Amino acid sequence: MKQRTIAGNWVSEIGLGCMNLSHAYGTPPSEQDGISLLEKALDLGVTHFDTAALYGFGKNEELVGKLLKSHRDRIFLASKCGMRGVDGKRVIDGRPETLRATIEQSLLSLQTDVIDLYYLHRWDKNVPIEESVGELSRMVEEGKIKSIGLSEVSAKTLRAAHLVHPIAALQTEYSLWTRNPEIACLDTCKELGTAFVAFSPLARGFLSGDITDPNGFVDKDIRKGMPRFQPENIRKNLKLIEQMRNVANELDCTLSQLSLAWLLHQGPHVLPIPGTTKTTHLQDNIRASAIKLNDLQIKKLDTVFEHKNISGSRYPAATQNEIDTEEF
């Protein structure tokens, strides 16, 4: 696996988003199957593992902690605070006292005394970003975390936070069909020396080409409520997949590999963290590190997936109001 840097640490250029193992896409795999997938990722060269207090309302951190216990020195560990489960509901809370309580619980769940990269999962707009980041900076001073990240914020907010403490990474959704980071965040991250961590780099599975039934999502799958995954939009967006398949055939690779390779070509500071529950998909994703695209292939993909060609917004209105990212 090739390497890229976050906060001065060399990590696998393709990481693993661990959310799928406990959260969001229907019934998660068993604990043993989840641990087996994490161990396989480590065996295949993945060193960057990303979790959060929210995922599975704590269960995902506990799962990752069981892998960490024996392999801590081999893993770059990222987790998140500022959004968690309270009484069965997702709550955004960036108050310093809440962040403090969350880090203490996360350290216990993860079975470690330090987290390499700790993100503010969502900016609580009722709390100045400087106040939340200020509390995270005190955690750095205390040795509980090594570096600070932000998730789903704008370039403006990133700059404001960076004045309080260096921001090691900005994490937001980025893929061929979600190009919002290109408005400002990608360039700002490059300027500030901030890594850009791309979550949902396969568009929540859509860019794999496996989603063909507009009505095929199971209960508790968050995609059922997302505009882009509504039947009328899925049917329109599937036409883009067919154009993408031509480029994949040229390179003799899968659609997932092509999607990840395209992201890796967007700059050395871009690190995708695809998630999966299947070992076959994990192996497929990791092989994307070896794929090289030429300028013509990149241009073709850019043209096919221009924002104006995408049907449906990425979040429902209520969720969209919670985030701070630039929008087309």
How many whole angstroms separate alpha carbon 270 and alpha carbon 140? Answer: 24
How many whole angstroms separate alpha carbon 235 and alpha carbon 279? Answer: 28
User: SS3 for 49?
Assistant: strand
For residue 130, the tally of other CB atoms under 10 A from its CB is 13
Residues catalogued as catalytic: 55
How many whole angstroms separate alpha carbon 206 and alpha carbon 221? Answer: 14
Q: What tokens appear for 79 in the block? A: 């987790």
Exposure letters 159-171 (e unless 16+ CB within 10 A, then b): bbbbebbebbbbb
How many whole angstroms separate alpha carbon 42 and alpha carbon 130? Answer: 36
User: SS3 for 26?
Assistant: coil
- DSSP bridge pairs for 79: 118
Q: Which amino acid, one-letter code, is at 300?
A: K
> Rounded to whole angstroms, what are the CA distances from 12 to 2, 45, 66, 191, 196?
6, 7, 20, 22, 14
Exposure letters 104-128 (e unless 16+ CB within 10 A, then b): eebbebbbbeebbbbbbbbbbeebe
Furthest-apart CA pair in the chain: how many Å? 54
How many whole angstroms separate alpha carbon 31 and alpha carbon 51? Answer: 15
How many whole angstroms separate alpha carbon 93 and alpha carbon 62? Answer: 21
CA quadruple 218, 223, 228, 230: dihedral sign: positive
Residue 28: DSSP 8-state: P
